[in-house]
Structure 1
Amino acid sequence: MSLRGTRDVRDNYQIFRLTGLLDAFSEQAFSKVLGSKIDEGPKNMILDLSKIDFVDSSGLGALVQLAKKAQTAGGTLQIITNPRVTQTVKLVRLEKFLALQPSVDVAVENIKSS
């Protein structure tokens, strides 16, 4: 598989730290696994994509669907990126919708203050 990661569950949020490629080959498994984790809870999700090498349009679509699912469930999705991922997201003007954050610490603070 071109995408690997770990899951860390806390009181009211879960963090996924992912490495590899978020593309057409990994998108289906990514969507299925992370979508089921929103159902399991907690509903607030932080995706650490700072170690991701590449995101294509399929990956962006999966991120949008995941953000919508989290919102529908009453939670949030925040994404920590690297310059390459940020550039890809900004090209399609999704940086505000996808709640890009500079670090996991900032994302955790956003959850605690909401």
Structure 2
Amino acid sequence: MINPVGRWRIIWMEMWDQDFVDMIEPGHFRFDENGLGYFIFGAVEGQVDYRVSDDGRRIEFSWSGNDDGSIKLGRGWFELTSSGTAKGCFFIHCGDESAVEISQHSS
């Protein structure tokens, strides 16, 4: 089982370049121990409600937040690897979707 708790840096998104991802601050996801968390990239940010699969290798989440001040919500998932990286997909309800890669931050 891989422990997802902590901060995960967004290292690549299919739909947006890294300059956009890091526009306000370095793009990242944070997974807290209580099944909640947070993310920010570009002008999109939100609160996360996540579940880890029984084998500990997949995170599925829903989120609510905003995109440049407009209320948004969505869902997503990540497949975790033992190397501290994960690949998945991020969806904005009735909007964009993007493949995404994250890397576990050491601090």
The structure richer in strand per residue is: 2
TM-score by length of 2: 0.32
TM-score by length of 1: 0.31
